[in-house]
Structure 1
Amino acid sequence: MNTSRRVIPAVALVAAAALTVPALAACSGTSGSGGGDAKGGGKLEVTASFYPLAFLAERIGGPYVRVTDLTKPGVEPHDLELAPQQIAALTKADVIISLHGLQPAVDDAVAQSGVGHTVDAARLTTLEDHGTEVDGRHHTTGDDGSGGASREDAGSDPHIWLDPVRYAEVARGVGKALEAADPAHAAAYGRNTGTLVAQLGALDTAFRDGLRRRSTDTFVTTHAAFGYLAERYGLVEEAINGLDPESEPSPARMKALHDLARREHVTTVFFETLVSDRTARTVAGDLHLRTDVLDPVEGITDESRGRDYFAVQRGNLAALQRALGVRS
């Protein structure tokens, strides 16, 4: 088992360096100019811990920001270790955007960076505990966060970006942070945030409409990355390995999956692009099911079904439609 993937509770506070968005609004630029005179020769230097946050910064910041993604394409974000030069470079950022609990090495570096404008995406929306099963059929998003989780292998789930509604909440917070760090371009950041939120609203509608006429609610994945998406659209995610996609399922879990596949008319075992598909193919062979990709959009590579977040999510929708037997 790859113990480095263990997810630390994401509702923990970032150390003293982390600020809430309201606090960000009260700060002047980190260069001391108070007018957004960024360190990068006129561009705001933004460091994001991994792709979903870098994508937000690029879309919202546009030509006024230079974005550095700490997680290179093809690297599994949960396993990221920072080189000394990356840690040193982090201190030169104007804004740092991370998701506390997802990448412990980043959490430590952010806490020691001394950068004034830091954004913890985990504090911009609600997080829940998810285990190997997430049943969204009777779950109302926006409640106290206790619904929808099995207690087996449960832990705070950081995969908030796979729910377009929660991701839009994070986008709004990132937009406010950029406005606070660079007031000279606040109007542009505000417009770009509005455009991005509208696009995420359209994606939410596409998922709702596109999954409406399905034959089954249940899909099987190698690990529990899609709990928020399942809750949002009334689906049931059954994960082979819970929050760790590289662990081996127990005999009891395998028997439960056999029973589930027959009872719920499961057709597909999903795997993802950045980890081995060995477990998925083994389980699918045992259950006489097919395999397909459901991408957690943790990074874009040549194997991704699309070149950005929206394209990959549309690919995920199409894969779910096939697996759930959506009728045209």
Structure 2
Amino acid sequence: MNVRRLIPAAALAGAAALAAPALTACSGTSSAGAADGRLAVTASFYPMQFLAEQIGGDRVQVTSLTKPGVEPHDLEITPKQTAQLGESDVVLYLKGLQPAVDEAVAQAGVKNTVDAATLTKLDAHGAGGHDHEGAHGEEAGHSEEAGHSEGDGHSHGEAGGDPHVWLDPAKYAEIAKGVGAALEKADPGHAADYRKNTDELVGKLTALDTEFKDGLKNTATRTFITTHAAFGYLAERYGLDQEGISGADPESEPSPARMKELQERARKENVTTVFFETLASDKTAKSLAADTGLKTDVLDPLEGITGKSQGADYFEVMRSNLKNLQKALGAK
């Protein structure tokens, strides 16, 4: 039975408003903020950093707690970073993704924080549940399979909410609106700039959502196998079926029974490709592919950008993901 964590509509509607009023307190604090007068923003990892940079523009100085190439789930916070948190004007993070960050934010006693998980609805993906909105599956002709995610034995966030919301452009746009509202409250003198940048970013994300919908409308199969079960929201949005090899932890080893199950699933669903990510080992993907005669390719969960990434920013990597999915699923 599928379990969802539903955030009440009232809480969603006022999420930015709830988080943001406290941010105004920092405007009168001389010890906080960048030396050049810009808003000092600390982001927990790349998707939060990208939002801050796109919406803040030259009005903000953005620092990320997660360096490029570091697996965000494994991040450990240094005392220096904890001190930096306390000196920030705004902290953007996603509760439930990085336990070390959650703990550091709590320890630092930072008032000016925006938890992206409160700006959209988190669902529970995995544990063999069917996590689709009926319309997506019906459009795809696979109402029983769309958004299905196997093999995720790791709970995320509160009540098992899957935190990988940025991989759904529509949900990422909701978060962008909340972040924009928070920056407006923190720096009301430049509110018009933040509003303009937010509108532009939301427009680009809406266009990306349309590209995915159109690009994945007609495919030979709806099933994809991945080492990192991070694509539950993406699968749900576009009527696909995610099969995670070993759950949300990309480094954990799957059981022999799980590997056998995936081999059978691949044959049944005409799966052509096993996906791996850039920040983790491709050993498991190659092992499964060798046993089943499948190809391997990259599906990037976009938790960080490195020299190995198939693109320089969120939009470029997402479009690479789309091309790789189209190829693997036999898009027509």
Smaller-chain TM-score range? 0.7 to 0.9
Establish whether residue 163 from structure 1 lines up as the match of residue 185 from structure 2.
no
Aligned twin of 2:316: 311
Aligned twin of 1:274: 279
Establish whether residue 234 from structure 1 lines up as the match of residue 239 from structure 2.
yes
Greater per-residue helix proportion: 2
Q: Is the 8 A contact 2:272 2:295 kept in 1?
A: yes
Aligned twin of 1:255: 260
Q: Is the 8 A contact 1:223 1:245 kept in 2?
A: yes
User: Alpha-carbon deviation of 1:229?
Assistant: 0.1
Distance, in Å, in 1 between the alignment partners of 2:223 and 2:64 is 34
Aligned twin of 2:193: 188
Summarize the Cα distance change of 1:282–1:28 in structure 2 as closer, same or farther, 3 Å threshold.
Answer: closer
Counting matched residue pairs gives 307
User: Alpha-carbon deviation of 1:27?
Assistant: 3.7
User: Alpha-carbon deviation of 1:152?
Assistant: 5.9
Distance, in Å, in 2 between the alignment partners of 1:151 and 1:301 is 27
Q: Alpha-carbon deviations, 1:1-51, whole Å to 9, x = none?
A: xxxxxxxx9999xxxxxx9521344346344439xx944331000000000
Q: Which amino acid aligns with 2:38?
A: K
Aligned twin of 2:297: 292
SS of residue matched to 1:130? coil
Q: Is the 8 A contact 2:151 2:245 kept in 1?
A: no
Summarize the Cα distance change of 1:149–1:272 in structure 2 as closer, same or farther, 3 Å threshold.
Answer: closer
Aligned twin of 2:95: 100
Aligned twin of 1:33: 28
Aligned twin of 2:153: 153
Runs (5+) with no aligned partner, structure 2: 8-13, 137-146, 156-160
Q: Which amino acid aligns with 1:103?
A: Q
TM-score, scaled to structure 2: 0.86
Distance, in Å, in 2 between the alignment partners of 1:98 and 1:10 is 19
SS of residue matched to 2:120? coil
Of 68, 73, 86, 2:63 maps to 68
Aligned twin of 1:90: 85
Summarize the Cα distance change of 1:58–1:174 in structure 2 as closer, same or farther, 3 Å threshold.
Answer: same
Of 13, 24, 40, 1:45 maps to 40
Distance, in Å, in 2 between the alignment partners of 1:134 and 1:315 is 28
Aligned twin of 2:202: 197
Q: Which amino acid aligns with 2:208?
A: L
Aligned twin of 1:126: 121
Distance, in Å, in 2 between the alignment partners of 1:241 and 1:195 is 37
Q: Is the 8 A contact 1:24 1:180 kept in 2?
A: no
Distance, in Å, in 1 between the alignment partners of 2:22 and 2:228 is 40
Q: Which amino acid aligns with 2:45?
A: F
Q: Is the 8 A contact 1:172 1:197 kept in 2?
A: yes
Q: Is the 8 A contact 1:268 1:323 kept in 2?
A: yes
Larger deviation, residues 253-262 vs 56-65: 253-262
Q: Is the 8 A contact 1:132 1:223 kept in 2?
A: no
Q: Which amino acid aligns with 1:177?
A: A
Distance, in Å, in 2 between the alignment partners of 1:28 and 1:230 is 35
Q: Which amino acid aligns with 1:178?
A: L
Distance, in Å, in 2 between the alignment partners of 1:223 and 1:39 is 37
Summarize the Cα distance change of 1:184–1:222 in structure 2 as closer, same or farther, 3 Å threshold.
Answer: same
Q: Give the alignment's Cα RMSD to 1 decimal.
A: 2.5
Distance, in Å, in 2 between the alignment partners of 1:11 and 1:104 is 21
Summarize the Cα distance change of 1:97–1:231 in structure 2 as closer, same or farther, 3 Å threshold.
Answer: same
Aligned twin of 2:54: 59
Q: Is the 8 A contact 1:132 1:239 kept in 2?
A: no
Aligned twin of 1:79: 74
Runs (5+) with no aligned partner, structure 1: 1-8, 13-18, 142-146
User: Alpha-carbon deviation of 1:111?
Assistant: 1.4
Structure 1: 4+ residue segments shifted above 2 A: 9-12, 23-34, 37-41, 112-116, 132-141, 147-152
Q: Is the 8 A contact 1:30 1:115 kept in 2?
A: no
